[in-house]
Amino acid sequence: MYDQIITAYNEAIFDTDRDRALQVVRQAEQDGMSPEDIVFKLVMPAIELMLASVSEQMNANLAQHFLTSQIAAEVVEEMLPRFRQAPEACGTIVIGTSPGDFHGLGKRIVIGCLKAHMIETIDLGLNVAPERFVDEAVAHGAGVIGISSMMVHTARGENGCRMVRQILRERGLEGKIRIIVGGAPYRFDARLFKEVGADAWAENGIAAGSVIADLLQEVRP
């Protein structure tokens, strides 16, 4: 039974048919698939499958990429209250776009994927000042700061990741909070994340889930 459900769900995702994907999920639960299995055997593998596809054809699969993350977020929100035992979040990230950057699509995709990874996400919005990234991370006990940039000058800007790193250093927080960056400039130059002072980068929103989970493990007490 699971094979048929997985096939139907993946086909809906690749057809960017949100309603059909959600219908498959709800029918699966009615047929006896547990909420836990829906999240971890249906939704999560679809994200991994999309990651492989996106790696080959990034532009062609942007619609599927976005849909996969949004459905993942929606399904997780729907299924979590029905888990037999509520899963423990593996950590918290604060995320926003760098100062001067008002492109939020990439950030929205990441947030959708992170919910499927059981990572608590605090969305700081667009055009976020470096001090606010750090202040909010401390306030929410976040182990990771995520900075999205869609333009080269916002990725490289002195008030972006570089300043966040400086503030962390000045406050003695470098060993407690990691920085991950993402966006088009980093895909064009895989070394850029190191130049701006980040600990890691992710090629796309789906890959970000695994990278951020690893960073959270590094700073877990």
Tens-digit pLDDT profile for residues 178-210: 999 998 899 889 899 999 999 999 987 767 888
CA atoms within 13 A on the CB side of 72: 32
Asked if residue 115 and residue 192 are part of one domain, the reply reads yes
> Which residue is it, tokens 């400039």?
185
Q: Is residue 87 one of the residues assigned to a domain? A: no
Residue 62: pLDDT band (50, 70, 90) is low
pLDDT of residue 88: 67
Average pLDDT over residues 47-76: 68
pLDDT of residue 63: 66
Q: What is the CATH number of the domain that holds 15?
A: 1.10.1240
Start-to-end CA distance of the chain, whole Å, equals 41
Average pLDDT over residues 158-171: 97
Residue 83 has pLDDT above 70, yes or no: yes
Average pLDDT over residues 118-129: 94
Candidate ranges 46-55, 82-91, 206-215; pick with highest mean pLDDT: 206-215
Asked if residue 96 and residue 57 are part of one domain, the reply reads no
> Which residue is it, tokens 């698939």?
33
- Sequence-ordered alpha helix ranges (H) in the chain: 2-14, 18-30, 35-37, 44-56, 62-79, 105-116, 130-140, 152-156, 161-170, 184-188, 192-195, 205-219
Considering only 16-20, 34-38, 49-53, 154-158, which range has the smallest mean pLDDT?
Answer: 49-53
Number of domains making up the chain? 2
The last residue of one of the domains, among 82, 107, 137, is: 82
pLDDT of residue 54: 53
Q: Is residue 173 one of the residues assigned to a domain? A: yes
> Which residue is it, tokens 């977020």?
73
CB atoms within 10 A of CB 31: 10
Asked if residue 213 and residue 105 are part of one domain, the reply reads yes
Asked if residue 98 and residue 10 are part of one domain, the reply reads no
Paired tokens of 43? 């939704």
pLDDT of residue 163: 98
Asked if residue 67 and residue 13 are part of one domain, the reply reads yes
pTM to 2 decimals?
0.77
The last residue of one of the domains, among 82, 112, 136, is: 82
Q: Which domain range does residue 180 map to?
A: 92-219
Asked if residue 150 and residue 56 are part of one domain, the reply reads no
Asked if residue 77 and residue 111 are part of one domain, the reply reads no
